[in-house]
Structures are given as C-alpha cells and as structure tokens.
Amino acid sequence: MALLAELAEQVREGELGRQHWHHEKLFRRLADVAAALGEAYPGGMERLQRNAGRRSR
C-alpha cells in the first residue's frame, strides 16, 4: 500500500508527473492491476466498487 501512495505522490508532485511520455505505460499497468484486483475479489469489480463506496461514507 505504501508503494501505491508513493507512486501517487510522485505523479502529483514529482518528476513522474512531468514525464508525460511515461503516462500511457503507467496507465496500462494500473489498469492491469485494477483488472487483477477485480478478478481476485469475491464477487468481482462491481461488488468491490459497491463495498468501497459504502465504506468511504
């Protein structure tokens, strides 16, 4: 989890955010991670989104 938080910070504040030539590759990898998470979560991505939305309130 700490690595994802650090990555978000680098995109927002660091060099990675300014290096637009990496953004497409980064987006593809993040989409792969989201797909894998949906496959691993019981009930899939739709259930995960519902549960995450409920917890953030």
Give the residue from 12, 37, 36 showing the smallest Cα distance to 23.
12
**Residue keyed to tokens 């998470």:** 37
Percent of the chain with pLDDT over 90: 79
Which three-class secondary structure state does DSSP give residue 14? Answer: coil
Q: Enumerate helices (H) and strands (E) in the chain, giving the number of each.
A: 4, 0
Tokens 């792969």 belong to which residue?
Answer: 32
Residue range 4-19, pLDDT digits in tens: 999 999 999 999 999 9
Do the Cβ atoms of 52 and 45 come closer than 8 Å? no
Q: What is the predicted pLDDT for the residue at 40? A: 95
